[in-house]
Amino acid sequence: MTWKRLELMLLVLYALVFYAIVIHRSLQLSHRNLSLFRSRTSNLIIPFGLQDVSDAQWRNFRGNLPILTTVFVIFLLVAYSLRETFRLNGRGMSIVWSLISFAYLSYLHGACIVFILSIASSNFLLAKVFSQSKAYLSLLWGYNIVFLLCNRIYEGYSFSSFGESWAFLDNYRGTFRWHISFNFVILRMISFGYDYYLAHRDSRFDLKKHLRCCSACSLGKTCYQVLQEKSLQIDKYSFMMYLCYLVYAPLYIAGPIVSFNAFASQVGYTTEKLFSESVAWYGFRWALSFCLMEMITHWFYYNAFVISGLWKYLSPLEVFIIGYGVLNFMWLKFLLIWRYFRFWSLVGGVEAPENMPKCINNCYNLESFWKNWHASFNKWLVRYMYIPLGGSKRKLLNVWVIFTFVAIWHDLEWKLLSWAWLTCLFFVPELIIKSAVAKLQVKKACEKLILREFGAVSGAITITCLMVANLVGYVIGPSSINWFITRFLQKDGLPVLGGMFTTFYVGTKLMFHIREAEEKGRKT
């Protein structure tokens, strides 16, 4: 038996013991505090028993799932019926998708569709009129950032602010705040404007080189990168296709984010995806993930502990378990929301990038974490921000600009800016270390072993930093960061901190084995 196989067995054994302890203590915590949750949080009670639906985003999605699925079915039946009846092509389908999507938006936003159409139409005119100007990209970004900020500052505007004669329309604002989902529309408007700008210029994308390296394209398929990078004919950048792209119902509320080029190249041209086995399997996997979430929220009240503030009275070990649990809850929540809408889009014939292709527990450095967390947004940021800002030549500066934009895009809150800047603070040292390691010429076995151990320690530090940054940004806010850190630096918290670091070290080494197995699989 080789030392690597022995190491793997010990790592797996440690992981099994760790999760057994976490699950056992989580069940104890939830059962012990059951009466407190009953008295403090009525939102936890649902007809099927006590269940943690204290997270507003998950509660809204779960509660609206029946009506969403009804819209899903009607939307596709109408679209495909019209398509088969009138033999519609890409242009025809863009009109159909737009009309059905606007009917959906009328229910969501009511009279506020006027704001969406006005802002979007002005952006289209800006692209068509100024795309040949040297100042065009500055105008495009400036226009969209101004509305990104104003929409949130003025809470979607009120009709009465435009005159008393329009005030009655404030009674017809729909069921969902338009300026919340409009954040995704902003990304699409920038994508259209930038793709249209590039369509008038020579492409730097080396298709031949890509075809040699891409496993999907080598099998005769067309990968997302080709769809995104390959400019379309100028007539494809029409107002109707633009509107269809902005309001396409399956991806409208939560994404995933798809570029204009990739979207427009798929509309009206894919008929076999409706009954594809892979799409059906994707939907089945989503259903299994949903069942897992139902089990977790029924037995473990991670988010409720945080929302209620009860975790502040727990021991350091219990605080760690709640913090770790709530991050896994968040990961599964977003996975279910994003994959539901991606499944809807796939059945509709439009493939969007997969968000969260890897589990949150299978990332040991910041770069891979952000590539796999909101993966479609990451692709958008790389194409429309990172590369235009100078790419790898200015990497250390770019991360600050990009993460600040990401924080503002999510919402105007200090805790999100704190998350962004904390992430950058942790990101910069990692980039410097990775750059230095890449230049090392390691040949001896002992040197490789030392480098592997150094990587495992670095991974443990990175995972700890990621945990802190995400808890601050999405859960506790900057005001509680001192309490959280101090809790582990006290006498009873230091052993837990050591155990936590050891666990992340073991987890990182386990991920090394997973990467090596994946690499062997690709080679064979």
Query: pLDDT tens digits, residue range 453-500?
Result: 888 888 888 888 878 777 776 677 666 777 777 888 888 888 988 999
Residue 47 has pLDDT above 60, yes or no: no
| Tokens, residue 330 | 């968040």
Residue for token pair 């930038």:
194
Report d(CA 218, CA 244) in Å as an integer. 31
**What pLDDT, on the 0 to 100 scale, is given for residue 275?**
56
Residue 45 has pLDDT above 50, yes or no: no
Query: 381-430, pLDDT tens digit by residue?
Result: 999 999 999 887 888 888 899 989 999 998 878 778 887 888 888 777 77
Residue 49 has pLDDT above 60, yes or no: no
Q: Is 355 left (phi over 0), alpha (psi -120 to 50) or beta?
A: beta
Answer whether 389's CB lies under 8 Å from 401's CB: yes
- When pLDDT is cut at 50, 70 and 90, the band that residue 519 belongs to is confident
| Tokens, residue 135 | 């100042």
For residues 292-313, give the mean pLDDT: 87
Query: 102-143, pLDDT tens digit by residue?
Result: 888 998 899 999 999 999 999 999 999 999 898 999 999 999
- When pLDDT is cut at 50, 70 and 90, the band that residue 39 belongs to is low
Closest by CA to 336, choosing from 74, 76, 60, is 60
**What pLDDT, on the 0 to 100 scale, is given for residue 136?**
95
Residue 2 has pLDDT above 70, yes or no: yes
SS3 letters across 157-181:
CCHHHHCHHHHHHHHCCCCCCHHHH
**What pLDDT, on the 0 to 100 scale, is given for residue 454?**
81
For residues 164-191, give the mean pLDDT: 91
Answer whether 467's CB lies under 8 Å from 327's CB: yes
- When pLDDT is cut at 50, 70 and 90, the band that residue 48 belongs to is very low
Beta partners for 50?
A: 45
Of 177-191, 213-227, 408-422, 441-455, least confident by mean pLDDT is 441-455
| Tokens, residue 20 | 């057994």
% residues pLDDT > 70 (the chain): 90
For residues 342-367, give the mean pLDDT: 86
**What pLDDT, on the 0 to 100 scale, is given for residue 379?**
92
Pairing of strands 45-46, 49-50: antiparallel
Residue 314 has pLDDT above 70, yes or no: yes
- When pLDDT is cut at 50, 70 and 90, the band that residue 195 belongs to is very high
**What pLDDT, on the 0 to 100 scale, is given for residue 109?**
92
Q: Which letter does DSSP use for residue 474 in this model?
A: I
Residue 187 has pLDDT above 70, yes or no: yes
- When pLDDT is cut at 50, 70 and 90, the band that residue 6 belongs to is confident
Of 80-84, 335-339, 387-391, least confident by mean pLDDT is 80-84
Supply the mean pLDDT for the chain: 84
Main-chain phi, psi angles of 50, to 5 degrees:
-75, 125
For residues 3-10, give the mean pLDDT: 84
Look up the pTM and report it: 0.89
Closest by CA to 261, choosing from 235, 221, 229, 214, is 229
Element at 472 (helix H, strand E): none
**What pLDDT, on the 0 to 100 scale, is given for residue 190?**
97
- When pLDDT is cut at 50, 70 and 90, the band that residue 41 belongs to is very low
